[in-house]
């Protein structure tokens, strides 16, 4: 359980860092990252739930 929670937090933190970097590069890339990131996070969470 703890390992899964740590990996989720790691992904969330990495996702936020990537968003900040993309926002610094270009505001338009931020919207693409939000769409792709949200889809990825939803897919990842559903996948984790399916294992239980």
Task: Give 16-48 pLDDT, tens digit per residue.
Answer: 887 777 777 776 766 777 778 888 887 887 877
Which residue range(s) make up the domain with 35? 2-51
Total structural domains within the chain: 1
pTM assigned to the model: 0.41
In Å, how far are 10, 13, 29 from 33, measured between CA atoms? 17, 14, 6
Q: Which of 37, 29, 39 is nearest to 13 (CA)?
A: 37
pLDDT class for 7, splitting at 50, 70, 90?
A: confident
Q: Which of 1, 24, 20 is nearest to 9 (CA)?
A: 1
At residue 4, the pLDDT reads 63
């Amino acid at each position: 359980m703890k390992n899964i929670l740590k990996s989720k937090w790691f992904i969330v933190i990495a996702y936020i860092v990537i968003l900040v970097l993309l926002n610094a590069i270009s505001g338009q890339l931020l919207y693409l990252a939000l769409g792709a990131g949200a889809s990825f996070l939803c897919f990842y969470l559903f996948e984790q739930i399916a294992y239980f």
